[in-house]
């Protein structure tokens, strides 16, 4: 009946999530957020299911998934560190944090081979008076220097 067990899982998750948002106007974004919350990313197999659920073309759904930075096409590391690189944090040395992460073997956009840490850039976390700022698994940190970033990365790698 089905080609693999994972197909069943993705389809079930997507259909379940979509059912929970039926009746909401323009529900595709909330559904994509919910799928990502369940699975950690939006797998390719989710796209035809979403197209079917919302009576859209696959191209439409693909277009939405790929337009937004938040939706991942593959799983992230267990810890996601997002370094703010917007102007207010630039003014306080955000680039030093990026350089530090890169020197530690964590260039932006990459996940460590063991799947422990992903380091990304973000533009503005709304902590512009207490920069440089970054976010670790959704938790905001202000006045972060390279030493503190080092400690955060080490803690993440050990987890």
Partner 1 sequence: MNAHPVKVYVPRDSAARSVGADAVADALQHTADQGGIGIELVRNGSRGMLWLEPLVEVVTPRGRVGYGPVTPADVPGLLAAGMLDGAAHPLRLGIVDELPWLARQTRVTFARIGVTDPLSTADYLEHGGLVGLRAALEREPADVVAEVTDSGLRGRGGAGFPAGIKWKTVLGCADELKFVCCNADEGDSGTFADRMVMEGDPFMLIEGMTIAAHAVGATEGYLYIRSEYPEAVATMRAAIGIAREQGWLGKAVLGSALDFDLHVRVGAGAYICGEETSMLESLEGKRGTVRPKPPIPAIEGLFGRPTVVNNVLTLATVPVVLAAGAAAYQALGVERSRGTQVFQLGGNIAHGGIVETAFGVTLRELVEDYGGGTYSGRPVRTVQVGGPLGAYLPTSMFDLPMDYEAFAAAGAMVGHGGLVVFDDRVDMAAQARFAMEFCAEESCGKCTPCRVGSVRGVEVIDKIIAGEHRDENLALLDDLCDLMTEGSLCAMGGLTPLPVRSALTHFPDDFLGGRRSLEIQPVRATGSRAATTTEGRA
Smallest gap from residue 6 Cβ to partner 1 (A): 22
**Half-sphere exposure at residue 6, Cβ-oriented, CA atoms within 13 angstroms:** 5
Cα angle value 82/88/92 (rounded, 5°): 85
In contact, 159 and 116? CB cutoff 8 Å: yes
Residue ranges in 53-112 that form contacts with partner 1 under rule CB under 8 A: 54, 60, 63-64, 66-71, 73, 85-92, 95, 107-110
66 vs 27, 62, 80, 103, CA distance in Å?
17, 6, 19, 29
Cα separation of 133 and 88, whole Å?
9
Q: Which stretch binds partner 1 (CB under 8 A): 2-10, 12-20, 114-122, 148-156?
A: 114-122
Smallest gap from residue 3 Cβ to partner 1 (A): 27
Smallest gap from residue 142 Cβ to partner 1 (A): 4
When asked if residue 133 is in the footprint of partner 1 (CB under 8 A), the reply is yes
**45 or 96, CB closer to partner 1?**
96
Residue ranges in 18-47 that form contacts with partner 1 under rule CB under 8 A: 24-30, 32-33
Give the residue among 130, 141, 142, 145 at the shortest CA–CA distance from 96: 145
Which residues sit at the interface with partner 1, rule CB under 8 A? 24-30, 32-33, 54, 60, 63-64, 66-71, 73, 85-92, 95, 107-110, 120-131, 133, 135, 138, 140-143
């Amino acid at each position: 009946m089905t080609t693999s067990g994972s197909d069943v899982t993705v389809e079930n998750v997507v259909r379940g999530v979509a059912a929970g948002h039926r009746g909401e106007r323009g529900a595709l974004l909330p559904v994509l957020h919910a799928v990502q919350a369940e699975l950690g990313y939006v797998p390719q197999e989710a796209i035809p299911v979403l197209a079917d659920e919302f009576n859209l073309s696959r191209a439409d759904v693909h277009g939405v998934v790929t337009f937004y930075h938040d939706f991942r096409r593959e799983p992230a590391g267990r810890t996601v560190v997002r370094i703010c690189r917007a102007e207010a944090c630039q003014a306080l040395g955000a680039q030093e944090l990026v350089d530090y992460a890169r020197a530690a073997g964590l260039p932006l956009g990459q996940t460590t081979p063991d799947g422990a840490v992903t380091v990304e850039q973000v533009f503005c976390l709304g902590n512009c008076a207490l920069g440089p700022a970054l976010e670790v698994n959704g938790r905001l940190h202000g006045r972060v220097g390279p030493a503190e970033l080092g400690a955060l990365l080490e803690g993440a790698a050990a987890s």
